[in-house]
Amino acid sequence: MENLIKAENIVKSFGKKERNVIDDLTLDIGKGEFIAVMGPSGSGKSTLLYALSGMDPVQKGRVSFMGKDLSLLSEKEKAEMLRTGMGFVFQQPTLLKNLNILDNIMLPACRRGGEKREIIAQRARAYMEKTGIGGLEDREITQVSGGQLQRAGLCRALMNNPPILFGDEPTGALNSRTVEEVMDLFSLIHAEGRTVFLVTHDARVAARAERVLFMADGKIVEETALPAMGGGTREDRVGLIRKKMEKIGI
């Protein structure tokens, strides 16, 4: 499988004592993979996501995206990479209060430029229909539910057609029913050929992935390849993950 992201012996430290939140970690992410990362609080899950995406540079080692060393990119090149090469969905959607739902979704493509607004709006509306929020274009962000906001955030993350979608606890603020609905969308996005990389504490969310990484003290201490969705039941996958969680004390 061709690599999309390659991290080689990366180290990320914080604080005056320079504690290694990421400690000599190596990881390959192949094109079209669906990876979930789990671990106790402070294990380095979110820090790893920010390091792999180039949002937060590492002190040691190297991260490459599509063959390009992130440390060698100019600020302009890195900004363009983040805008067009990667999509991000967070626990709390970072939507602008002064824009309606449609304009929030359109924003990344409008900032990128090069397309007519009508074309961008057409694509945004298509994503809204696909994610079940069609008809909410003119709503303010205070006029929709948390699940609808998260769907809008997912639409926005896809607007520039990035090859990888990062999610940092994207279901953490949702009820169980909405979690399943949002994860159905992530599974659909992956089935269409996009790479998905999720940080989660929820075994049922991680069970949607192909590969689950378990972190502790800044290292990947366990890794589990899950059977294809057609192989075994969903509960089998969840049970396998929970056994691993117990093993490392999550």
Strands (E), 40-148: 60-65, 68-69, 86-90
Mean pLDDT of the chain: 93
Query: Would you tell me how many other CB atoms lie within 10 Å of the CB of residue 50?
Result: 18
Model confidence at 113: pLDDT above 70: yes
Q: How far apart are CA 151 and CA 76, in angstroms?
A: 29
Give the residue carrying structure tokens 């090859």. 163
How far is residue 31 CA from its own chain's centroid?
14
pLDDT at 231: 59
Window from 23-37, 178-192, 196-210, 226-240 with minimum mean pLDDT: 226-240
What is d(CA 21, CA 3) in angstroms, rounded to the nearest whole number? Answer: 24
Confidence of residue 52 (pLDDT cuts 50, 70, 90): very high
Return the DSSP state at 229. Answer: T
Residue predicted with more confidence, 247 or 197: 197
Region 135-161 average pLDDT: 95
Helix, strand and coil percent figures for the chain, each rounded to 5: 40, 25, 35
Quick one: DSSP state of residue 227? P
| Cβ atoms of residues 91 and 84 within 8 Å | no
Residue 223 scores a pLDDT above 80: yes
Contact 199, 44 (CB under 8 A): no
What burial class does residue 119 get, using C-beta atoms within 10 Å of its C-beta: 0-12 exposed, 13-18 middle, 19+ buried?
A: exposed
Residue 239 to residue 97: CA distance in whole angstroms: 41
The Cα–Cα gap between 6 and 168 comes to 19
Nearest to 66 by CA among 50, 48, 52, 47: 52
- Average pLDDT of the residues in 206-218: 95
pLDDT digits (tens, 9 = 90+) for 172-192: 989 988 999 999 999 999 999
Rounded to two decimals, the pTM is 0.93
Q: How confident is the model at residue 211 (pLDDT cuts 50, 70, 90)?
A: very high
What does each C-alpha distance from 235 to 20, 177, 203, 228 come to in angstroms? 35, 16, 10, 13
**Residue 202 CB neighbours (<10 A):** 20
The mean-pLDDT minimum among 13-27, 82-96, 163-177, 218-232 falls in 218-232
Q: What average pLDDT does this structure show over 195-204?
A: 96
The answer to whether residue 16 scores a pLDDT higher than 70 is no
pLDDT value of position 93: 84
Tens of pLDDT, residues 23-41: 999 999 999 999 999 999 9
Residue recorded with tokens 């502790």: 216
The pLDDT score that the predictor gives to residue 209 is 96
Question: Reduced to 3 states, what is the DSSP secondary structure of residue 160?
Answer: coil
Residue 227 banded pLDDT, cuts 50, 70, 90? confident
pLDDT tens for residues 66-110?
999 999 999 999 999 998 999 999 988 889 999 999 999 999 999
The CA–CA distances, whole Å, from 197 to 22, 33, 118, 237 equal: 17, 8, 31, 18
More confident call, 85 vs 231 = 85
